[in-house]
Amino acid sequence: MKKIRLLTPGPTPVPERLSLRMARPIVHHRSPEFEAVFARVREGLAWLYQTKQDVLVFAASGTGAMEASFVNFLRKGDTAVVVDGGKFGERWGKLAKAYGVNAVSLKCEWGHPVEATAVEKALRENPQAKGVYVQANESSTGVYHPIRELAQVTAKTGAVLVVDAISALGAMPLPMDDWGIDVLLSAGHKALGLPPGIAFLAASEKAWKLNESADLPRFYFDVKRERDSQRKNQTAWTPAIALVEGLDESLAMFREEGLENVFARHERMARAARAGMQALGLTLYSKSPSPAMTTVLAPDGVDSEKLVKHLFKQYGVKLVGGQDAAKGKIFRIAHLGYFDDFDMLVVIGAIERGLHDLGARIELGAGLAAAQHSFAGGG
């Protein structure tokens, strides 16, 4: 018997409750039955976003919401400051190019967060910039960018702060209204535990103001059309009905646990994962570790790709390695979504076994013990 365990930062494991809910007979989307579910989902999303704005729902994966954050708020030839600190930050630049937006790219060394002062400087040098685009959690590096500080910077300018929280929403506090985030986009297949295919976006008054003059072409991802429709608990186009049902269930689970407890759980797992890895003598890759994931440099002589493959083949444990610049160098521990303390023991235990198998000199059990002490409040 080989038990398969998905321990990746998206897709994340789908809670049984969600699977059962989504397996129910499908309802028609133009019906009062669907509208009742959608109304509850809209309310739940606003609660999770901590916003008074409409949180719009799209049938798409996260990149669709990233596209929506460009085409709905910018004009052709506009300037945008984009934070490029990894594979997902890089995508902003590609989007800008595709839509004729002039991107001022703030390159961060992989593993490093952007400095708020660098964004401030870029906005000073490019006062015409309409927006700052950044990830809350850059999934390719496990870096948390300082969103709150960035919001304080953009608040003093005409630029909006656009935050990709695809792998962050629900794993860490991102109170949209309180912090002054202007566009907050996310997706269902990370902390919310849904299969991929549903994405979200909310906009501040400042961003809706930009929307009025935005002239980039858009149709499927038109936020204005969706807002008009979704305020009536309908979507402009056919919604991903089963995922909306699953989202209703996922939000119910969040409500039952309580938002503070959800964030505390993620923070607790993150702390234990870091303690475990450090106790094995390993080096953390991210200089600004995120509550959503822990990225770790493989020890000298160990190819992280080989480790990841070995863990799946030998033990059915699915981790992910590094992408692009970090390929072969790092592995990534997910603690994002339907994970708890004991899942961290599994992942740390698997990493210990895998490293041992591949001949790395680590002390078996040391990572687990450190995690246990961390959970118990000792480390």
Interface residue list for its own copies (CB under 8 A): 4, 6, 8, 10-11, 13-14, 19-20, 22-23, 25-31, 59-64, 67, 94-95, 98-100, 187, 189, 195-198, 216-222, 236-243, 312, 318, 320
User: Which CB atom, from 58 or from 375, has the smaller least distance to its own copies?
Assistant: 58
Minimum distance from CB of 307 to its own copies (Å)? 15
- Of the two residues 29 and 271, which places its CB atom closer to its own copies in the complex? 29
How many CB atoms are closer than 10 A to CB 186?
28
- Residue (215 or 357) nearer to its own copies, CB: 215
Minimum Å gap between C-beta 288 and its own copies is 24
Give the 3-state secondary structure of residue 251.
helix
Nearer to its own copies, 25 or 378 (CB): 25
What is the residue type of 141? Answer: T
- Rounded least distance, CB 67 to its own copies, Å: 5
Asked if 44 and 255 count as a contact pair (C-beta separation under 8 A), the reply is yes
Q: Cβ 79 to its own copies, closest distance in Å?
A: 17
User: Judged by CB, which is closer to its own copies: 31, or 261?
Assistant: 31
Q: Which residues contact 1 (CB under 8 A, 6 or more apart)?
A: none
Distance CA 172, CA 286 (A): 16
If the CB atoms of residues 175 and 197 are measured against its own copies, the closer one turns out to be 197
Amino acid at 118: A
Q: How many CB atoms lie within 10 A of CB 25?
A: 4
**Least spacing, CB of residue 152 vs its own copies, in Å:** 30
Residue number, 95 or 150, with CB nearest to its own copies: 95
The H or E element spanning position 22 is helix 16-22
Output the DSSP codes for 329-359: TEEEEE--SS--HHHHHHHHHHHHHHHHHTT
What is the distance between the alpha carbons of residues 331 and 335, in angstroms, rounded to a whole number?
Answer: 13
CB of 318 to its own copies, least distance (A): 6
Task: Confirm if 295 and 284 have CB atoms less than 8 A apart.
Answer: yes
Q: Could you give the CA distance from residue 73 to residue 130 in angstroms, rounded to a whole number?
A: 8
Q: Which of 29, 92, 38, 74 is nearest to 223 (CA)?
A: 74
Q: How far is the CB of 312 from its own copies (least distance, A)?
A: 8
Q: In whole angstroms, how close is the CB of 61 to its own copies at the nearest point?
A: 4
Per the listing, tokens 């910018």 go with 74
**C-alpha span between 127 and 158 (Å, rounded):** 8
150 vs 210, beta carbon nearer its own copies: 210
